[in-house]
Structures are given as C-alpha cells and as structure tokens.
C-alpha cells in the first residue's frame, strides 16, 4: 500500500498535478484543468491496472465539474476536471469499465463524450431530450396526469358504447 | 433458415424485474450469437430527488433504492456524510454496523441461490435455500422490526442495540444453519447432476473480469479479488478476520460457490463481532452541522462494491450525490458471458450476476 502511495505521488508530481489525501487516507484528490491531461493521466493509470469506479458530473460556474473515480488497489484516486464546452474525450477505449458511466453522463447532463466506442443511450429513450437532470418536472407531468385523464375518458366512452 | 431474433422481456426474465433482451441466435437456432439489453423501464431519478431532501431525510430515500442491498445504501451514504463532518463513531456502532451488514449478506446470498435452484427447476433445493433464509429473515424482524429495510444506520452511528437475548438468538440461528450451509457446499462441490447443469455455463474469464471492472461475487468467481472489506477496510472490518472466497472458473457454478463460501465467512465475522463488541454508546449524542466539503465512500454490498460521492455546500441538503451500484458494473459482462450458451440459459446466467434492476435504474 505504501509503495503505491509513493508511486502515485511520483506520477502526479511529474505531471505537475497537486494532490492531497483525505482525512481517512484512503482517497486521493486532485484537480486538472486541461482535457489532454486527462488522457495523459488515463494512459498512465491504465498501465497500473486501475479501474474506473464511477464518474460524477455536476454544474459549477457556468460549466461542469467532472470527477473521475479510479480504484488503484484499494486507494481511490479522484480526478477533477472543469469543462465549459460540454464535451470531453472518452476514456472508454482505455478503460472498458468507463463505458456505462460515460454514456450516462451524456444522457443526463448532455455532455458530449468524444470518440466513445458505443455512444448509445443507457436508460432514457431516444425520444427524450438529453440533459434532463438540469430541468425540473413536477410529478404530475412526469407521470403524465394527462394520460390518466385520457384513459378515464376512454373508459367512460366505452362504457357508454357498452350500455348502448 | 431465416434470421429469427429472440426477444425476452421486458418482464419475467429471472427476478420479475423489467429488462429487455434482444438475442440473436447462431445458425443452429439454439445457442446465442449476441445479446443486447435494453433497460430504463423503471428509472426513478433518485439522484435528483436526494438533492431536494435534507441529510436525515436522505437516509430513508437511500434505503429505498433497493430492497436487498437496502442496508448498504444508507450505510455508505452515512460514511460519506461522516467523512465530511469529520465524525468519529463510537466503537460499538462500528461493530453493530458489521452485524447488520453480514446478516443482510447471508439472507441476500441465500435468496440468489434459491432463485438459481428455481431456474434449474430444482424445487426441493429452492425450498431448502428459502427455508434457511427464512431464519435470517426472522432474525431481522426480531432485531430491527422489519424483514427487508432495517433502518439500522443513522448519521453518527446506528439506531439499534443488541442485548444478551438478541445476541444469543443470533448465535443460535448461526449454529443451527451452519451445518445446512456446509451441506449445500458439499452438494455444489460434488453432485454430478448439479455440476453438469450449471458448470461451464456463462463463463467470464479472469482477463475479461479485470477489463470490465466487474465487482463482488462475479469478480471473485473469476479469480479477481476486489472485496472492499479487505481492500479498503471500513467500520470494524480491519479488526476482524475472514477469508475472501475465490474461485477460478468464472461460470455460474463458481458464482454460486463463492456465495456459499461467503456465507460461512459472514458467520465467522458475526461470531467475532458479537464476541469482541465493545460496550458504550451506539450513536453520537449530538446532531452535527454538515459543512461544505466532498467525500467518496464505499462498502462491499452483497452484490459487490457500492460507491457514493457526496458534495455539500453548508446547507441542509446535498449539492450533488451520486452512487454506483454493483450491478451497474456487472451488467456489461453479460455480453461476454452469454454468447454460445443455450438460449434457455439466459435467465440462469442473468441471475448468476445477482442482478438488481432497481439499484441500477436508481
């Protein structure tokens, strides 16, 4: 475990990335500001048998903050990347484990994942527009109160027919 | 022969949860050439809902993500909140968290094995598995007042305590059922009919398991050890001894065996936790204000690694909360496991990853 700490520190300082461990010492946090840095770092991590656990996105300062959570032998490396143009290179060609989480990013936040090998929708139907999480829907419209209204009139109409 | 596509679903594939399989058969019409899955039928947007609730309300919401891993969701969520708030929990609470989690794991594994027996039409075996599980369900009811959602965890500790009577009843249940689990293991290790039926079905190699980043018993059945309890110990796991159950064949049989051996390990953990549990408080006395910050936490749910990310901004509600459930990682592996197997084994292979649609479509 300790040698991994040293190795990670080496890599991050070579790439001139500042990093710090959190209080429990089991996760390492760092921020990068260039997308090519992400690809560079991903290539190195891939040779270290890292695994992509998750990628989180959220809105921040008129852009998006992405957090890539890599597992390295029990240590979680969290890499933050700030983007303003809603696009990011895919790391799925390097990490198959990033496949789903990248596709989900694009369907929920509308972030374009460049060069993703399988850029299909994951959960949402193609007819639903992208970046739905950024909008608020009331429950009645999400569950479509209109539909039950229509259904009810249909039932009433059919009852009318049956009763002749 | 025309190219017939086999469509299974959206309902009643293995667990009566909705998922849609598009299967393209080989030219023999009996085996699978390729498989595609369509999901999203029950997506509930819970990651968005939690942003509109405060930290305590979210305990209930996370518990509702899924019934079988319902203990691990609030557990992992609490760990993230506690990290941000810088809380150190009473020792006893850490042990009680382990107790809740391991009892849940045993019941969860037994349920999956019961489903496996159902899918190979072995009704007797299914009954035996579910009857064994029933003892643990009763135990949950006795301790937490509920058979599925335990509501065991809270920020800063747990909401229950164990007295001598309850500890004795847990031990009695373990002692009563250990020989049964050993008999199941003997059956899965030696019974020729069973081994022929599920051995070599739905194989996932060690390399593929690593490449796809699968977790939990699916990973361990292919020889990949990423048990969070060992790799990044949390709660009281660092103080307890247990072995990680590993198999190397990566088939349905191996995944079943991993779960069976894990039940024995859980029993070992429970005995140790109950015997070495310190006395004292089970929860911190004051409610803490959650400051601005962010944290990642993870636990080993019955199905595998569960990860939570939490970002707070000093208000009573999270700014962003994201989690990734075990099935999310294992699902894509079905595309490797299924080709060249019999079409009739789709449900069996699907069940062997212990799928949780409810978790995945959170």
The interface predicted TM-score (ipTM) is: 0.83
Per-residue model confidence as pLDDT tens digits over B259-271:
999 999 999 999 9
pLDDT at site A141 = 62
Mean predicted lDDT score pLDDT of chain B: 89
- E-strand ranges in A14-163 read 19-21, 27-32, 51-60, 63-72, 75-83, 87-89, 112-114
Residue B229 has pLDDT above 60, yes or no: yes
Interchain proximity A74–B232, CB inside 8 Å: yes
Average the pLDDT over B168-179 and give the result: 94
Name the closest residue on chain A to residue B41, using Cα atoms: A123
- Sheet bearing B304-313, strands edge to edge: B292-301, B304-313, B318-324
Q: Nearest CA to CA, how far is A24 from chain B (Å)?
A: 8
Which residues on A lie below 8 Å from B323 (Cβ)? Answer: 54
- Residue B196 or residue A16, greater confidence: B196
Taking the C-alpha atoms of residue B224 and residue B49, their distance in angstroms, rounded to an integer, is: 35
Taking the C-alpha atoms of residue B50 and residue B57, their distance in angstroms, rounded to an integer, is: 8
Q: What percent of chain A has pLDDT over 90?
A: 4
Is residue B142 classed as helix, strand or coil in its secondary structure? helix
Per-residue model confidence as pLDDT tens digits over A17-41:
777 777 777 888 888 888 888 888 8
Inter-CA distances, B230 with B107, B225, B242, Å:
21, 9, 9
Taking the C-alpha atoms of residue A110 and residue A116, their distance in angstroms, rounded to an integer, is: 14
Taking the C-alpha atoms of residue B60 and residue B154, their distance in angstroms, rounded to an integer, is: 10
Task: Flag whether the pTM goes above 0.95.
Answer: no
Beta-carbon contacts of A62 under 8 Å, excluding residues fewer than 6 positions away, are: A84
Q: Nearest CA to CA, how far is A160 from chain B (Å)?
A: 34
Best mean pLDDT range from A141-155, B3-17, B74-88, B346-360: B74-88
**Residue B332 at interface with chain A, using a CB cutoff of 8 Å:** yes
Domains within chain B, CATH numbers bracketed: 6-360 (1.10.645.10)
CB-based contact B217:B255 (threshold 8 Å): yes
CB-based contact B330:B318 (threshold 8 Å): no
Nearest by Cα to B326 from B228, B253, B222: B228
């Amino acid at each position: 475990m300790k040698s991994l700490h040293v190795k990670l520190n080496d890599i991050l300082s070579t790439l001139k990335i500042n990093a710090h461990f959190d209080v429990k010492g089991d996760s390492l946090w760092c921020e990068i500001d260039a997308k090519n840095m992400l690809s560079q770092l991903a290539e190195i991590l891939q040779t270290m048998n890292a695994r992509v656990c998750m990628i989180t996105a959220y809105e921040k300062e008129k852009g998006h903050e992405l957090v890539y959570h890599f597992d390295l032998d029990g240590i979680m490396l969290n890499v933050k990347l700030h983007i303003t143009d809603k696009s990011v290179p895919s790391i799925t060609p390097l990490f198959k484990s990033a496949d789903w989480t990248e596709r989900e990013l694009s369907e929920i936040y509308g972030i374009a994942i460049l060069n993703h090998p399988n850029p299909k929708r994951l959960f949402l139907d193609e007819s639903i527009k992208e970046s739905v999480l950024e909008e608020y829907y009331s429950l009645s419209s999400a569950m479509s109160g209109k539909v039950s209204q229509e259904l009810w009139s249909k039932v009433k109409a059919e009852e009318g027919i049956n009763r002749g | 022969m025309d190219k017939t596509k086999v469509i299974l679903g959206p309902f009643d594939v293995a667990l009566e949860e909705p998922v849609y399989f598009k299967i393209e058969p080989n030219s023999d019409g009996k085996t699978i050439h390729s498989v595609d899955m369509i999901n999203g039928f029950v997506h509930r947007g819970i990651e968005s809902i939690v942003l509109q609730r405060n930290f305590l309300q979210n305990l209930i919401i996370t518990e509702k993500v899924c019934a079988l891993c319902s203990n691990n969701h609030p557990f992992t969520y609490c760990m993230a909140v506690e990290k941000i708030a810088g809380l150190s929990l009473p020792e006893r609470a850490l042990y009680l968290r382990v107790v809740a989690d391991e009892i849940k794991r045993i019941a969860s594994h037994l349920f999956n094995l019961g489903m496996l027996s159902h899918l190979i039409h072995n009704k007797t075996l299914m009954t035996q598995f579910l009857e064994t599980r029933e003892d643990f369900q009763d135990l949950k009811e006795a301790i937490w007042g509920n058979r599925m959602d335990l509501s065991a965890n809270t920020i800063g500790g747990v909401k229950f305590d164990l007295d001598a009577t309850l500890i004795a009843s847990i031990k009695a249940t373990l002692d009563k059922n250990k020989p049964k689990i050993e008999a199941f293991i003997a059956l899965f290790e030696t019974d020729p009919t069973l081994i022929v039926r599920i051995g070599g079905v739905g194989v996932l190699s060690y390399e593929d398991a690593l490449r796809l980043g699968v977790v939990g018993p699916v990973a361990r059945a292919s020889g990949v050890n990423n048990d969070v309890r060992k790799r990044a110990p949390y709660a009281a796991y660092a103080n307890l001894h247990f072995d990680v159950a590993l198999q190397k064949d990566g088939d349905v049989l191996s995944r079943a065996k991993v779960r069976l051996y894990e039940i024995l390990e859980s029993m070992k953990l429970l005995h140790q936790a109950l015997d070495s549990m310190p006395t004292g408080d089970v929860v911190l006395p004051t409610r803490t204000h959650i400051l601005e910050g962010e944290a990642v936490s993870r636990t080993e749910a019955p199905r595998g690694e569960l990860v939570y990310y939490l970002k707070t901004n000093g208000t009573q509600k999270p700014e962003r909360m994201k989690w990734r459930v075990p099935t999310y990682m294992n699902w894509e592996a079905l595309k490797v496991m299924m080709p060249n197997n019999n079409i009739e084994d789709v449900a069996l292979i699907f069940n062997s990853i212990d799928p949780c649609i409810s978790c995945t479509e959170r």
